[in-house]
Amino acid sequence: MKDAVYAARLNAYAPHSNFLVGAAIECLDGRVFTGCNVENSSYGLTVCAERVAVFAAIAAGVMPRTFSRLMVCGAPRSATAAALTPPCGACRQVLWDLCGDIPVTLLGLDGASETLQLADLLPRAFDATLLPSADR
């Protein structure tokens, strides 16, 4: 799965930041879906690698909350080593809603890695349990 993350990173479209991110999400059935960041000149329309990977899985028919783990690697285009890069806040929220408390492994270009639970990256997460019931 690490190789898939590194390969996805090289597909990133990042002409503005030159910061390439690749991600791979694994389903409980073993399928792996990848994503890369896709930037836009209107920065708010940029989509992160983590969300691209999850959305690709959902688009392929994977049901939400049937994921086992996520791996992500982000680094500048010309880097050979860089700090481990966690998902941004928007990705953390999407991951929480669609994946639940899965392990998230941060990968470095130099082979470094760290695995954290999503609940540690997004403590006291907002989710549907806090919304009023549809029949109220």
Residue positions annotated with a catalytic role: 50
Structure tokens, 25 = 């999400």
Q: Which residues pair with 47 in a beta bridge?
A: 38
Tokens read off for 51: 């969300």
Q: What is the DSSP string of 47-99?
A: B-HHHHHHHHHHHTTPPTT-EEEEEEEEEETT-SS----PPPHHHHHHHHHHH
Tell me the C-alpha distance between 114 and 50, whole Å: 16
